[in-house]
Structures are given as C-alpha cells and as structure tokens.
Amino acid sequence: MSQNSEKRRVVITGMGVTTPVGIGVDNFWASLKAGKCGYGEAKSYPTEGLRVTIAAEIDDFAPVLEGLPKHMRQADKYSQYVGASAIEAMKDAGFEGKIEDGHRAACIIGNGSGGITTLEKSYKDLFKYEVKRTHPLTLLRALGSSAASHLSIEFGIFGPTFCITSACSSATHSIGMVFRMIRDGTVDMGLAGGSEASLDWGTTRAWQALYVISQDGCFPFSAKRDGTVLGEGGGVLVLEEYEKAKARGANILAEVKGFGMTADGLDMVNPRVEGAAGAMKEALAESGLQPSDIDYINAHGTATKVNDITETKAIKQVFGEEGAKNVAISSTKSMHGHLLGGGGAVESVACIKAMEDGFIPPTINLDEQDPECDLNYTPNVGVKKDLKYTMCNSLAFGGLNTVLVFGSAPK
C-alpha cells in the first residue's frame, strides 16, 4: 500500500442499517420521519430481578438472517447485524461479489462489547447448567473483531481490517479512520460502521447499577429525562475516493467533509464540555467550514442528566449563544434507542438522509424541555428544510468524543 501526500475527497456511495425502528435504510428513514418509537418491554431475554425491563429490540430479523451467507448465520448477533447492513450498503453502492482490488480496500467496524451475549450464554451453560463443553464457535463469535473479519471474507477485502472499541464512539471512530485512510491515499475505498447486540440480563444489570438507563423511556433534553434506553443494531457505510467513484458511475450520496476526535482526560462517566467542543471544532476545521454553515446536528442526546446539559453547553461554546439557537438539532435516540457501538453509524445515515430528503427528524417525547437545555431540538415533529451540511456527534463513556461533518453529494 502506497501513500499519496495530496489530500483526496471522500464520498459515501452506499448505506445499510439494521435498527429497532426498521431494517434497511428506507424503512429506518420512514420511521424517523414518522416519529416512531422503537422500544418497549424486553422480549429477547429474561427480566426477572431487573429494575429496568424496557429495551429497543430488533424483533423481525429472522427473514433477513435466513438470507445471510452461512459464515454470518453462524456468527454472533452483532456480526449478523453488521453483515446485513453491509450487504445492503454494498448493493446500494453498486458492487457485486468480491471487490476488484481488495488490497486497496479497508474494513473497520466498531463495537462496544463484541459478542457479549454469546459469552453470557456460554457462562450460564457452564456454571448454571453445568454442561461439559461450550459451543466450538464460542470464541470466534465473541471476538470484537469478528464482524470486520466476516465482511473481509464476504467481499474480498485484503487491506486494513480491524475493530475499534471506544464505547459509544466506536462506529464514528471507524468511519473517521476509513475517511482518513482514503483521503491520505492508503486505500481507495472501505466499509466502515459498527453495531451492538448486548441486550441480555447481565448487561442490563451492569447498566442499571450505574443509574443511567430509564425504566420509562428515552426523553432527550426533557425535564423528565432519567436515563437512556439500551438498543441493538448497527449500520455500515461504503466510502470511496471521489474521482474513482465518479469514474465508475457510482451514485454519490454525500461527502465526508471532516472528522474530529478528542478525549476528556477527566472522568469515566462525567463528560467535559471542552472535550465535546474540541471534537466539533476539529471536525469543522478539517472540513473548512464555519459553524454557521452547519444546518443540522444529530446530537449524541442520550437522555442522561449530565450528558444532555454538557452537549448543549459544548454546542454553545462552538456555535456561540446565538448561532447555537439557530442550528437545528435532534436526538434520534429518542426513537431507536442507544445503539452504543453502532450508534454513530446509524446516526450518520440519519444525517445523510436528512440532507438527501431535506428533512430534519424529530426528538420525540419532548414535551417540556429542561431549562438548561434551551436550544432547538426539533421537538416531536420533524421539519422540512434544505440542508447542505450536517454534523454527527458521538460522545462516549470514558470521555471519548468523535464528530463527523457531512456535505451534500458533490454536483
């Protein structure tokens, strides 16, 4: 692999998602526009002894699973969600079969906890039911890098292929890394995104012990918010160097304009305003845009007490008090839940569809805003508006901040 000192333009040519509000980009986007709520009482795992019994689950995946290649059907759910999303994204981008030059392609897929449901089942079998041996694929299913490997196998990708694990910033980190690899000439195209499938009894117990998940619902920026709602699913984007995508006649959906990443260096669960603001500033600086150029922000918006106030303050620091009030914001987590390591990919798709469709998705369940969250979060009903540039924020536990800036498809 060679490197080119000239910075190249990077575009999105394909997208795929698997979410609690719809499998496939069209279904997902229709649900966001309609303000559909994707969570309810958990069905896929036992809830006895749990204080929190709601989750944003994917309950119609069986038909999709049957159509996946055998090596993906045998994988953990988090890899299956990535597989389904990648197959949709590659088809959307106009690729069939193996990539022509797999050595010039990358595959970076993020997740927060890998095949944790596989491990929970394995430990339950061993220690509760005292089975004599675990399933032979347990180790491979549990690996955090398995999803990236499955895509490499399926599409013939021989370039950089690995996993990024940075909690709720995992997918956004992954997209940013592929963007920079293409921009700098390391590769010409790549798959990037992330997923999570950690809805089980043990994981819920761990999250509820921190008192950051809600018993009632996901209410970002609301006075009544009391935590997020855990979800499952993910998304994959196809990124390509602009001139090569144009030469092959690809349908270009959007352009990646900039990426920023910072660490708070402060606390594992209490975010720092300067960390989030720094990532937004970095992304804007790389994009060559001013804050006033951004038409829409898909906020991290987890509906936790501290995060929503911190993100609001960070937006004000970057955009200024007046500018912050003028930019449209929403948290689509209010609908699809918090997809953790897959959230940044799904929310990036929301940003791109928002530009394509000229529509800002709403923050549902927002009847009474917290006085400290005093910006325009597009409450309850989406708004039609021409959008040229959008921003996607992912601000993870551990103080790991990532921000992407997207532009409309080049003319």
Segment 147-175, tens digit of pLDDT: 999 999 999 999 999 999 999 999 999 99
Secondary structure string (H, E, C) spanning the chain: CCCCCCCCCEEEEEEEEEECCEECHHHHHHHHHHCCCCCEECCCCCCCCCCCCEEECCCCCHHHHHCCCHHHHCCCHHHHHHHHHHHHHHHHCCCCCCCCCHHHEEEEEECCCCCHHHHHHHHHHHHCCCCCCCCCCHHHHHCCCHHHHHHHHHHCCCCCEEEECECECHHHHHHHHHHHHHHCCCCCEEEEEEEECCCCHHHHHHHHHCCCECCCCCCCCECCCCCECEECEEEEEEEEEHHHHHHCCCCCCEEEEEEEEEECCCCCCCCCHHHHHHHHHHHHHHHCCCHHHCCEEECCCCCCHHHHHHHHHHHHHHHCHHHHHHCEEECCHHHHCECHHHHHHHHHHHHHHHHHHCEECCECCCCCECCCCCCCCCECCCEECCCCEEEEEEEECCCEEEEEEEEECCC
pLDDT for 373 equals 98
pLDDT for residue 402 is more than 70: yes
Q: Could you report the per-residue pLDDT of 321-332, keeping only the tens digit for each?
A: 999 999 999 999
pLDDT for 411 equals 80
pLDDT for residue 3 is more than 50: no
336 is catalytic: no
Instruction: Given the residues 163, 168, 218, 373, select the one marked as catalytic.
Output: 168
**Tokens describing residue 104:** 């010039």
Q: Could you report the per-residue pLDDT of 23-40, keeping only the tens digit for each?
A: 999 999 999 999 999 999
Instruction: Given the residues 173, 218, 338, 373, select the one marked as catalytic.
Output: 338
pLDDT for residue 258 is more than 80: yes
Q: Could you report the per-residue pLDDT of 295-313, keeping only the tens digit for each?
A: 999 999 999 999 999 999 9
Fold: same for 10-247 and 259-406? yes
Q: Which of 127-136, 239-248, 321-330 is the least confident region?
A: 127-136
Percent of the chain residues topping a pLDDT of 90: 98
Q: Could you report the per-residue pLDDT of 179-216, keeping only the tens digit for each?
A: 999 999 999 999 999 999 999 999 999 999 999 999 99
pLDDT for 345 equals 98
Q: What's the predicted TM-score (pTM) here?
A: 0.97
Domain range summary for the chain, segments of one domain joined by +: 10-247, 259-406
pLDDT for residue 361 is more than 60: yes
Class of domain 259-406: alpha beta
Q: Which of 17-21, 125-129, 291-295, 380-384 is the least confident region?
A: 125-129
Q: Mean pLDDT throughout 41-55?
A: 97
pLDDT for 190 equals 98
Q: Which of 128-132, 331-335, 362-366 is the least confident region?
A: 128-132
218 is catalytic: no
Q: Pick the residue with more confidence: 3 or 70?
A: 70
Instruction: Given the residues 300, 336, 351, 392, select the one marked as catalytic.
Output: 300
The answer regarding whether domain 10-247 maps to CATH 3.40.47.10 reads yes
Percent of the chain residues topping a pLDDT of 70: 99
Q: Mean pLDDT throughout 251-268?
A: 98
pLDDT for 266 equals 94
